[in-house]
Amino acid sequence: MSEPDVVLRLTDLVKTFPGVRALDGVQLEVRAGEVHCLLGQNGAGKSTLIKVLSGVHRPDAGTVEWLGQPVAFANPQAAMKAGIATIYQELDLVDDLSVSENVFLGHEPRRLGFIRRGAMADRTRRILGSLGHEEIPARRMVHALQAAGKQVVSMARALSQEAKLMIMDEPSAVLAHDEVENLFRIIRSLTAQGIAVIYISHRLEEIREIGDRVTVLKDGRTTAANLSAKETPTSELVSRMTGRTIEYVFPPRPEEPPQREELLRVDGLTRAGEFRDVSLSVAAGEIVGIAGLVGSGRSELLETVYGARRADTGTVTLGGRTLRPGSVGSAVRAGMGMAPEERKSQALLLGEPIYRNMTLATFSGLARLGFTDAGRERAEADRIAASLDLRPRDVRRPVGTLSGGNQQKVVVGRWLLGDTRLLLLDEPTRGVDVGARAELYRVIRRLASEGVGVLLVSSEVPEVLGLSDRVLVMREGRVVRQAPSHELDEDTVLDLVMAGSLMEGTPA
């Protein structure tokens, strides 16, 4: 039996995906009227946990106890009906409906099949009032609202269904600084009504201010439960999140080479709202890692260096040649290659054979007078497939039939075919299982030893530290620290990326 005020209790929750154990024994206990913070690095399992709670995924093992009863939500509607609402980062509102239509979407008050618009607007006003936001007009179109307003509407929707638990996934990420205070005021009014809140944030200072208790996740496991949000020392929280239990095998770094030739130089690169005044360099044969949270501007930076986004100001120079801003063609011709963050949507033609995916950037060069040479393409792709130990090796198979790790090898392999001098890797091991990771690390290191420069972005701090020669730490669109990787450790980097809560005034 649960204590009366515990609304949610998770015991030994397990959820596996092919090749990955996303949740591996999660314990969580949430009381009515509290703000329970979830803390963990990217990939620790927070998103999976949210999805299990909101009925998107079903757990493979373990129990979910909701209001004292074991439950299994078949779908998100069932979770919603039971009183668990999730406020996602990308708010799931319909832009072209009004505020009240959004609040009551799917459960509109009706009479004889007709929506009672007046009643709906009245109730919306009442709910908005209870959130302290009666100034939001119930009939205003949602697209006319700012991000903060949309967030309020999303919460109002949860309240309209009498939610008893609200899961907020990094709600402050979309808000300006002064709007966060307002968010906290709303959260306090929710908890005063007895509603429980699961609050996910990377910002320790927020957790200190709004949180009651903290549960820490690492590698899909609860490493600390029900710590006091106010009193637990930061060092303890950080240490609970770090120190991977899965040991990644990183290939050894070479002895410090004498003089490396500068390959890439980025000067004062800026894109409004994404990153500001970033300068960096990558030498031939060097692996430079960028650490930072989602939203710190790291992927945007990489794409801008590559020309997939056009810089507002600043220059990118590769091997002494200044690249035309906003031109991928110019970057590729100069010898740049990129493995983008979203493999499936940004890099692969899933229905096409492996070899055609591998030669996507080079088939013109392999062609004669505009006629493609499929035999030569297959031979070249087969050679790369062998050197990357692609499984299965048959390059005629559609690339969509491969596992994540092997798909990533195809994307990296694409750039091994040409004269690539600088490789940009955005989350190269996302969705890749542990064994394949080690292989990819070896491939990346081998490329560097052959003189290729590598600029790498990863959410996983150990990966950046273990693989790179030099590390840049990004926070809110700025490079806050630049150092050889052996001078940094996981705790330091984590502190740097998390809003400078511990080491205020770090040397940049």
Partner 1 sequence: MTLSEGTGLAVPGAATEPPGGAAQKRSWAGESGESVARNLVLVGVLVALIVIGAITQPQLYSDSTWVWNNMVSILQLASVVGVVTVGMTFVIIGGGIDLSVGAIVALAGVWCTTLATQSYGTVGMIFTAIVVAVSVGLINGVLISYGRLVPFIATLAMLVSARGLAAAISGKQTQISANTFINSLASDRVLGVPLLVYILAVVAVAGWVLLNRTTFGRRTVAVGGNPEAARLAGIDVKLHTMLLYGLSGLCCGIAAIMLTSQATSAQAAMGNLYELDAIAAAIIGGTLLSGGRGTIVGSILGVLIFATITNLFAINGLSTEAQNMVKGGIIVAAVLVQQFRFKSVTQFFARNRATTTS
Which residue carries 């609200």 as its tokens?
Answer: 166
Q: Residue 354 in contact with residue 395, Cβ under 8 Å?
A: yes
Binding of partner 1 at residue 384 (CB under 8 A)? yes
Least distance to partner 1, CB of residue 299, Å = 12
By CB under 8 A, is residue 60 in contact with partner 1?
Answer: no
Report the residue from 252, 258, 364, 505 that binds partner 1 according to the rule CB under 8 A.
Answer: 364
> Closer to partner 1 at the Cβ: 42 or 372?
372
Q: Measured from the CB atom, is 10 or 444 closer to partner 1? A: 444
Judging by beta carbons within 10 Å of its beta carbon (0-12, 13-18, 19+), is residue 311 exposed, middle or buried?
Answer: buried
Provide, rounded to whole angstroms, the least separation between the CB of residue 444 and partner 1: 12
| Long-range contact set of residues 12-16: C-beta below 8 Å, sequence gap at least 24 | 12/61, 12/62, 12/63, 13/49, 13/52, 13/59, 13/61, 13/62, 13/63, 13/64, 14/59, 14/60, 14/61, 14/62, 15/48, 15/52, 15/57, 15/59, 15/60, 15/220, 16/60
Whole-number minimum distance, CB 375 to partner 1, in Å? 8
If one asks whether residue 76 binds partner 1 (CB under 8 A), the answer comes out as no
Rule CB under 8 A: say whether 372 interacts with partner 1. Answer: yes
The two three-digit tokens of residue 414, written as one number? 């694409």
* Crossing angle between the packed helical segments 147-160 and 177-192, to the nearest 10 degrees: 10
Rounded to 5°, the CA angle 306-309-315 comes to: 60
- The reply to whether 66 sits near partner 1 by the rule CB under 8 A is no
Site string for partner 1, 319-358 (x = CB under 8 A): ---------xx-xxx----x-x----xxxxxxxxx--x--
Among 61, 74, 379, 508, binds partner 1 (CB under 8 A): 379
Residue from 15, 125, 409, 414 touching partner 1 (CB under 8 A): that is: 414
CA 103 to chain centre: 28
When the beta carbons of 35 and 284 are compared against partner 1, the nearer one is 284
The reply to whether 259 sits near partner 1 by the rule CB under 8 A is no
Decide if 353 contacts 398 (C-beta within 8 A): yes
**Closest distance of CB 436 from partner 1, Å:** 9
Which residue in the set 452, 457, 471, 502 belongs to the binding site for partner 1 (CB under 8 A)? Answer: 452
Q: Stretches 38-46, 81-89, 317-325, 403-411: which one binds partner 1 (CB under 8 A)?
A: 403-411
Number of shown-chain residues binding partner 1 (CB under 8 A)? 66
Q: Are 105 and 160 in contact (CB under 8 A)?
A: no
Sheet holding 287-291, edge to edge: 336-339, 422-426, 453-458, 287-291, 470-475, 478-484
**Six token digits for residue 324:** 């035309």
Question: Coil, strand, or helix at residue 117?
Answer: helix
Pick between residue 446 and residue 486 the one whose CB is nearest to partner 1: 446
Structure tokens that stand for 294 in this block: 């989602």
Q: How far is the CB of 204 from partner 1 (least distance, A)?
A: 36
The span of 37-45, 46-54, 249-257, 388-396 binding partner 1 (CB under 8 A) equals 388-396
Does the footprint of partner 1 cover residue 285 (CB under 8 A)? Answer: no
Check binding of 261 to partner 1 (CB under 8 A).
no
Q: Taking CB under 8 A as the rule, does residue 40 contact partner 1?
A: no
Query: Rule CB under 8 A: is residue 103 a binding residue for partner 1?
Result: no
> 195-208 in b/e burial notation, b at 16+ Cβ within 10 A?
bbbbbbbbbbebbb
C-alpha to C-alpha distance for 178 and 168, rounded to whole angstroms? 18
- In the list 378, 445, 470, 475, the residue contacting partner 1 (rule: CB under 8 A) is 378
Cα–Cα distance measured from residue 153 to residue 142, given in angstroms and rounded to the nearest whole number? 8
Q: Which range, of 201-209, 229-237, 416-424, 453-461, touches partner 1 by CB under 8 A?
A: 416-424
Contact residues for partner 1 (CB under 8 A)? 18-19, 306, 308, 328-329, 331-333, 338, 340, 345-353, 356, 360-361, 363-364, 367, 370-372, 378-380, 382-384, 386-389, 391-392, 394-398, 400-406, 414-420, 433, 446-447, 450-452
